[in-house]
Chain A
Amino acid sequence: MQPNSMTPHSAIRRGPPTEPLWVQRLLIAAAVLVLTVLIIVPVINIFAYALQDGVGAYWKHLTGDADTWHAIKLTLFVAPIAVVLNVLFGIAAAWLLTRFSFPGRTLLTSLIDLPFAVSPVVAGLMLVLLFGAKGWFGPYLQAANMKIIFATPGLVLATMFVTLPFVARELIPVMQAIGPDEELAAITLGANGWQMFWRVTLPNIKWGLLYGVILCNGRAMGEFGAVYVVSGHIAGQTDTMPLRVEKLFQDFNLPASFAVASLLTLLSLVTIVLKVILENWKDVEVPE
């Protein structure tokens, strides 16, 4: 609702009855206090401790330690792979669940959310039981000389597991709302499946998709529990950034730990900013 778009009619639209001003002020103050104590001070604390020895020391903590540097690179390698795999899964699942009706569709829809209900630690453990040396596939993997658990593929799998629902969850409501009419029109006009997807479906879902990607990526870079279990935390090999934070913390190297944590915090702040920008764009493109 922008003031300049007010017509006489919408100008008469009333808000609900409201509280006395002092009650409003009190509640606002309480809310701001909650946010300050729970969120704002902690964020400031992270940067304050990360930078307590100056920018030079901060930079050295991040780049001077080979294991930390490796962890940064590993996270930036693992997260995008997991995101891409989940984008493919999300699009396939959303297409399946919103464009076809088949027995078991409702069940499948709720199954997609299941990874959210599984403790990350349990998720990691399940993957170990499946792909570990003594797991179901262990002997075959060993025979093929492939290592998944305590290696990068395990990190990808664990990350993928905990972020599995993100993209599908964003796309399903969007595709449901749009409905199949435009795609049916494209088919009747002679488009084949890929043409329909690239020219009609994808442009319609691009914002929802991007939104899902941003949320998925944020979570992927920060995942701890599941990755912790499958990584075996071998410094310089399978330590991602969050794992590195914990290791440095256990070694009482607080400044270094906070330096890595500040980098992750920065990433999550970027995630939030992107999310806000995207929400504004969506509002601009689809006026109510």
Chain B
Amino acid sequence: MSIHIANVTKRFGEFTALDKVSLDVPSGDLLALLGPSGSGKTTLLRIIAGLEHADDGVVRYEGEDVTNKAPKDREVGFVFQHYALFRHMSVFENVAFGLRIRNTPKAEVNARVKELLHLVRLEGLGSRYPAQLSGGQRQRVALARALAVRPRMLLLDEPFGALDAKVRQELRQWLRQLHDEMHVTTVFVTHDQEEAFEVADHVVVMRAGKIEQAGSPQDVFDHPASPFVMDFLGQVNVFHGRLQDGQMHVGNIAVNYPEYTHAESRDATAYIRPHEVELERLPGDGTRLPVKVLHVNPAGAVTRVRVLSEAFGWSLNVELRPERYAELALRPGDQVFAVPKRVRVFMSDDYAI
């Protein structure tokens, strides 16, 4: 089941939650809506589910206009951020709810619920009440409940937001597996870029009610369309400089920027990811930036180094592979040279970090 969203706008009083958003979700896709809080991602998800009505625009499921269809008739599986399990019903009854509403024969309900409890690995817990389950178990009950009615699509609002780190990791991989087995079109909302990249086929980055960028995780990460996306997808070093004649000048470093070839110079910002900076002991050909090591944190999968360019007064975060760190044998106070391997330049716009 594909989803087509065209020019959807939603306002809450003065606040515009969604501003003419258009999006296509291909059938069988696993798509992540990624963005900070207030970016409109949850509102978009709720509009897809029919839990919210768009002020303007159209929502279609596989060509069928559902904009004014009530949620109960949409056959959508929705998983709520805080699960919204029915506290007074056992796990079994929670999962059976949608089937019972549809007057499904008893034997079929039993079989289907059993099947789903098996799928979410909660066999034997059917008679428990939600309050007797752990967070991860509740999450899986919510998922089983949504899937029981064989929904045309699965929508999840911050599905792992309320769980602790370890359970979250497990459930992510499990959701991916589940999707690969079932191929039901799935959209989930998250503010965690790592989660989006790890699980999704496609990532949609949202900001202030608009879609900032959409694409595969690789695509979005490698070619961020805007400084906002660049910044949102992980730590970055930011430098302000001047752009002129197809080159950006930051301190003593020049970066090619062929999109701007005018002689008139203008402000621009350069973004460098910490893992895209190399540190060298030798000065090289003069395009290396002399820096002093301030602080080294070798704990973890990468070694984080903080360096300072005394000439320009910039400090810079660098991530090194542990082998490289061992090779360099860095110590605070050492004079070294920084080499940016990849710099992204954006002309100054309204976005400021």
Contacts and interface: CB of A to CB of B under 8 A. Distances in A.
A103 interface: no
A200 B172 CA distance: 50
A11 B12 contact: yes
Contacts of A1: none
B15 A14 contact: no
Contacts of A287: none
Nearest to B52: A14
B52 A8 contact: no
Interface string A1-15: 001001011011010
Interface residues of A, number: 7
B52 to A, nearest CB: 7
A8 B51 CA distance: 19
B38 interface: yes
Contacts of B42: 12
Interface in A1-42: 3, 6, 8-9, 11-12, 14
B177 interface: no
Contacts, number: 22
B173 interface: no
A9 B13 contact: no
A14 B45 CA distance: 14
Contacts of A6: 13, 15
B15 A11 contact: yes
B52 A9 contact: no
Contacts of A14: 46, 51-52
A49 B43 CA distance: 58
Nearest to B16: A8
A6 B17 CA distance: 14
A149 B292 CA distance: 94
A150 B17 CA distance: 72
Interface in B113-168: none
A2 to B, nearest CB: 13
Contact of A11 (B13, B37, B46, B51): B13
Contacts of B52: 14
Contact of A12 (B14, B15, B51): B15
Interface in B202-225: none
A14 B43 CA distance: 10
Interface in B1-37: 12-15, 17, 37
Nearest to B46: A14
A98 to B, nearest CB: 26
Contacts of B13: 3, 6, 11
Interface string B42-78: 1100100001100000000000000000000000000
A3 B13 CA distance: 10
A8 B39 CA distance: 10
Contacts of B51: 14
Nearest to B71: A17
A12 B12 CA distance: 6
Contacts of A8: 12, 15, 17, 38
Nearest to B70: A17
Nearest to B12: A11
A288 B64 CA distance: 45
A8 B42 CA distance: 13
B12 A9 contact: no
Contacts of A9: 37-38
B273 to A, nearest CB: 30
B50 to A, nearest CB: 10
A3 B43 CA distance: 20
Interface in B221-275: none
A12 B46 CA distance: 11
Contacts of A12: 12, 15, 17, 38, 42-43
A6 B51 CA distance: 21
A9 B42 CA distance: 11
Nearest to B10: A12
Interface of A: 3, 6, 8-9, 11-12, 14
22 contacts: A3-B13, A6-B13, A6-B15, A8-B12, A8-B15, A8-B17, A8-B38, A9-B37, A9-B38, A11-B12, A11-B13, A11-B14, A11-B15, A12-B12, A12-B15, A12-B17, A12-B38, A12-B42, A12-B43, A14-B46, A14-B51, A14-B52
CB-CB nearest 3 A-B residue pairs: A11-B12, A11-B15, A8-B15
Interface of B: 12-15, 17, 37-38, 42-43, 46, 51-52
